[in-house]
Structure 1
Amino acid sequence: MNKKIIISMIIIGFILILLDKKFFNKKIYNFSKEEGKEIKYEKKENEPWSGLYISIFYFTSISLGALFFLGIQNISNSGWSIIIHPIMEDIASFIPYGSIMIFIILSLNTLDYIHLFHWMSPDLFDPISLKYDKIIASKKLFLNTPFFLIRSLIYVLGCSFFYFKIRKKSHILDQTHSLNDYKKLYFISLIFIIFFSIVSILIAWDWIMSLNPHWFSTLFGWYILSSYIVTGIGTITIISIYLNKKGYFPLFNKNHLHDLSKYLFSSSLLWSYLWFSQFLLYWYGNIPEEIYYFLKREEIYQSIHFWILIPNLVIPLFGLISSKNKTNPKIVFSIAFTLLIGHYIETYSLIAPDVEIQFGMSEIGSLLLIGGIFYYILFSNLNKRKPNASKGNPFFQESKNYEYPYM
């Protein structure tokens, strides 16, 4: 991708954030009811931080999904995907940057500079205060600022560590062609899969679900993990098709595309299954504390949680169910791009209703700004790639000559 386009995205995004009238300080008031009395209290303006938080989380989740998918390929000894491993690594290169940006926003919350996380207000834990919240106070053992920041720091450092470690082991393997180094790559990937399987659930609880501390879902962590996988595979597919079309990725062919399309298809179905599992269980239970999550999105955002099923389930289901379509670059590219749009809307629907914002210039600007940074880092890493990348992997020749048996 032309660097001028990427830099233009970053500049336009920054300008849109500055031009948004919500960027300037203003007072916003919320109302709560205590003992039958309506209490008015000032709430801090969260723009442009809310839009930035949504975009940073979205692009970081793409990178995490790509690294998770790469780890799965490594520990399963998959031969077909070896030539695509460098692309997976480069998509994952945003992890250190994105996770640090998220940590900065979380730190600004703890300093009370911004107020995305409502539960961080000390008045909610004080029984004497008019703002005292019994439900939030009962979760103080888990939802307290020091422990929250420590957990977040573990997520940031842990995911960044495994990204650098896997990348380093992969580069060493390219140079040595050693089976011993391949085993080391296998081992570190295995540890990462175990680590991330646990941490991804905690990230979902801390960085998204705690935005609305009255609501909880036992499926939520797995639901968010499935979204990581879909967006990660979708981005891998788009970049692979794009590089192949430009002539920079000649080893990539319809056989590899077919397998990527299968993963894209199956991961979108997995996400849909978890979406329906969560929704139907709550609809059947009809418990006010649970269904409020869906009612809020229905009333404020015109049932956004239902509309996201069109790009995230309906289009990939009917578009990729045909084996012939799975090998058509134009169709697969369009569906993968649609899924990325759909999952941005999903990320927005997860966060925006709980921080009480409406989509505007600030959100568009944040998407362009963070998206521009993401693609700048991605293509900078791709440009540094050596032509012999992944040739040290013992399955490289199998991947190079791969043919899907039923094509």
Structure 2
Amino acid sequence: MAHDVQHYNLDQKFDFTAATKKSVFTVLIIGAALLVIGILMAIFGGHHEEAAEAGGHAFHWYERLYANLWINNVYFTGIAIIGVFFFAVQYAAQAGWSAPISRVMLSFGNWLPYAGILMIVTFFVANHDLFHWTHAYLFDTNSPEYDKIIDGKGAFFYWPMAKGSFPAFYILRMVLFFGFWVFFFNKFKKISAQEDQLGGTSHWFKMRSWSAYFIIFFAVSSSISAWDWVMSIDTHWFSTLFGWYVFSSWFVSGLSAITLLVIFLKSRGYLEMVNENHVHDLGKFVFGFTIFWTYLWFSQFLLIYYANIPEESVYFIERLSSDVYGPYIFVNLAMNFFLPFLILMTRDAKRHGIFLKLVCTLIIAGHWVDFFLMVQPGTLGHNGGIGFMEIGMFLVYGSAVTLVVLGGLAKGNLIPKNHPMLEESYHHHI
């Protein structure tokens, strides 16, 4: 380590102070209160007796609760796994600029074990209320409700069991994905800790190999999980672009969360090595992938629009022509494309914390709206919307994730002090 980096405190640890915990818990309590108000309003609101259009069954308040659980599970799982993915990308690409903030990225993976448990439990509790394909009568050729299209897709969920019984293949994928994601996250953490103690370049090379394996696994698992957890809600509909689309939504939200955490740590006097050049790079990533998400949104929409095939276009017609969801399509585009694009267009905006804090907060809320639009129309029909329950659940999840991520970050060194590229990062200038 050359003398340049030496005058920094490389043994710095994040101190998760009582004051910070109190702030996060305050948000958690406010969220919980709004959630309870939302649930009570749904129970006593009266419209739950209305027969829903889909299948004509009476709508129950807990269906909305389950849909919210699912939206937040999928959304925050994405942010957590993107932290690990972005960390792995730095090593696979042999990037030097990001060395001092790599631990910040990795810390998001601390949420993954909780996410996995929540996901599996929610599925077992809520499967019939969220996923139409879980009903056994759809696969029974003698039933008046028999559905040839869903029956054709049955093996993807139920193999090797009988269709309509227990979705063994589906659950196996969910367990495998979370299992491997947590395995890779722990592996990265372990190699990082060894590098801190022993130094040298061998751990960097080891991390690079493991990162390459992880990226390959992530490429496959992120796409399939998008089909499983989101696209299978609208079982008749499919889009060959959907895995990419969900990934881009996850990625830009994850990048925004990483950027916010870096700015927060900087404001508390940590990460002295990180200067406006590093922040600028994060800003460019957020800006670039905002456009990437929009490109995929538009590609999916345009192809379906001009082909005008009924089984494809139903997805957008359901949303655009709905009084409940129609306006949110435009909110989605404004929050996730127009505003970030206009605010972050200049070089200066990407280098200043205040603009980035604004845009990243906007994007984190905006991409939640994106997932809301993917999940609610197919599960709740016209009984959805954004109310106290949605806002409350989002705040509860957001603050829980924050507690877990910051708690994990406080356990180890903030800066990988023996990272062979710290010197390069110190001289990083753009």
TM-score by length of 1: 0.92
For residues 232 and 354 of structure 1, the distance between their equivalents in structure 2, rounded to whole angstroms, comes to: 25
Deviations 1:130-153 (A, max 9, x none): 222221111111133111111111
Would you say 1:108 and 2:132 are equivalent positions?
A: no
**1:65 alignment counterpart:** 82
| Deviation (angstroms), 1:41 | 4.1
**1:21 alignment counterpart:** 40
Contact 2:21–2:403 (CA under 8 A) maintained in structure 1 = yes
Identity among equivalent positions (%) equals 33
User: Gaps spanning 5+ residues in structure 2: where?
Assistant: 1-18, 159-166
Deviations 1:184-206 (A, max 9, x none): 11111110000000111001100
**1:205 alignment counterpart:** 227
Would you say 1:94 and 2:94 are equivalent positions?
A: no
CA change 1:98–1:173 in 2 (3 A) is same
Name which of 236, 241, 266 aligns with 2:258.
236
Name which of 355, 358, 362 aligns with 1:334.
358
**2:200 alignment counterpart:** 178
Contact 1:244–1:250 (CA under 8 A) maintained in structure 2 = yes
CA change 1:397–1:53 in 2 (3 A) is same
**CA RMSD across the alignment:** 1.9
The one-letter code sitting in structure 2 at the alignment partner of 1:10 is: L
Contact 1:103–1:156 (CA under 8 A) maintained in structure 2 = no
User: Gaps spanning 5+ residues in structure 1: where?
Assistant: 33-38
Contact 2:29–2:396 (CA under 8 A) maintained in structure 1 = yes
| Deviation (angstroms), 1:381 | 1.9
| Deviation (angstroms), 1:239 | 0.9
For residues 361 and 84 of structure 2, the distance between their equivalents in structure 1, rounded to whole angstroms, comes to: 19
For residues 348 and 284 of structure 1, the distance between their equivalents in structure 2, rounded to whole angstroms, comes to: 25
CA change 1:4–1:131 in 2 (3 A) is same
Q: How does 1:4-403 map to 2 (within 5 A)?
A: 4-19=22-37, 20-21=39-40, 24=43, 29-31=51-53, 40-41=56-57, 45-110=62-127, 115-144=129-158, 145-300=167-322, 301-356=325-380, 357-386=384-413, 389-403=415-429
For residues 109 and 125 of structure 1, the distance between their equivalents in structure 2, rounded to whole angstroms, comes to: 20
CA change 1:170–1:263 in 2 (3 A) is same
The one-letter code sitting in structure 2 at the alignment partner of 1:63 is: A
For residues 323 and 282 of structure 1, the distance between their equivalents in structure 2, rounded to whole angstroms, comes to: 36
Q: Which of 351-360 and 278-287 deviates more? A: 351-360
The one-letter code sitting in structure 2 at the alignment partner of 1:17 is: L
CA change 1:22–1:208 in 2 (3 A) is farther
For residues 119 and 251 of structure 1, the distance between their equivalents in structure 2, rounded to whole angstroms, comes to: 52
Contact 2:343–2:359 (CA under 8 A) maintained in structure 1 = yes
TM-score by length of 2: 0.87
| Deviation (angstroms), 1:391 | 1.1
The one-letter code sitting in structure 2 at the alignment partner of 1:49 is: Y
Deviations 1:135-182 (A, max 9, x none): 111111113311111111111111111111111111211211132221
Deviations 1:370-394 (A, max 9, x none): 111101111212222325x311211
CA change 1:31–1:259 in 2 (3 A) is closer
The one-letter code sitting in structure 2 at the alignment partner of 1:386 is: N
For residues 133 and 379 of structure 1, the distance between their equivalents in structure 2, rounded to whole angstroms, comes to: 47
Partner SS for 1:324: helix
The one-letter code sitting in structure 2 at the alignment partner of 1:186 is: R
| Deviation (angstroms), 1:43 | 6.1
Partner SS for 1:139: helix
Contact 2:109–2:182 (CA under 8 A) maintained in structure 1 = no
Contact 2:66–2:126 (CA under 8 A) maintained in structure 1 = no
Contact 1:68–1:229 (CA under 8 A) maintained in structure 2 = no
Partner SS for 2:404: helix
Aligned length: 394
CA change 1:10–1:329 in 2 (3 A) is closer
| Deviation (angstroms), 1:343 | 0.7
